[in-house]
């Protein structure tokens, strides 16, 4: 297994990405509404990938904490409450 996570990509569910935690790759999704709230944008035509890239450090940090906390769903879906 590579130690490099997959590149983020836009899907029908939002932006799919992966993080590596303790040598395991974890698939994740951040939905469009969560990205909108994170960026405080009401634009329904929000560029999801650009928004993900702008907040990537925060998003991947939350995903890693979720994985370390024992969240086992696959993919892990990040929600608004994860960013409070």
Domain assignment of residue 21, yes or no: yes
Domain assignment of residue 51, yes or no: yes
What is the average pLDDT across 22-47? 90
User: Which pLDDT value is given to residue 63?
Assistant: 97
What's the whole-model pTM score? 0.89
Domain assignment of residue 2, yes or no: no
The rounded Cα 53 to chain-centroid distance in angstroms is: 10
**What CATH number is given to the structural domain containing 20?**
3.30.160
pLDDT at 4 over 60: no
Domain assignment of residue 77, yes or no: yes
What's the Rg (C-alpha) of the chain?
12
Domain assignment of residue 4, yes or no: no
pLDDT at 13 over 70: yes
CA gap 52, 16 in Å, rounded: 10
Neighbours of 40 (CB within 10 A): 6
Domain assignment of residue 29, yes or no: yes
User: Which pLDDT value is given to residue 1?
Assistant: 46
Burial class (CB in 10 A: 0-12, 13-18, 19+), 24: exposed
Beta partners for residue 10, in sequence order: 15
Provide the domain limits for residue 70.
9-83
The structural domain count of the chain equals 1
pLDDT at 18 over 90: yes
């Amino acid at each position: 297994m590579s130690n490099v996570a997959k590149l983020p990509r836009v899907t029908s569910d939002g932006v799919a990405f992966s993080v590596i935690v303790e040598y395991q790759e974890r698939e994740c999704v951040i939905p469009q509404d969560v990205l909108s709230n994170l960026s405080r944008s009401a634009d329904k035509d929000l560029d999801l990938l650009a928004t993900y890239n702008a907040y990537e450090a925060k998003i991947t940090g939350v995903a890693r904490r979720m994985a370390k906390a024992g969240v086992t769903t696959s993919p892990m879906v990040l929600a608004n409450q994860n960013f409070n």
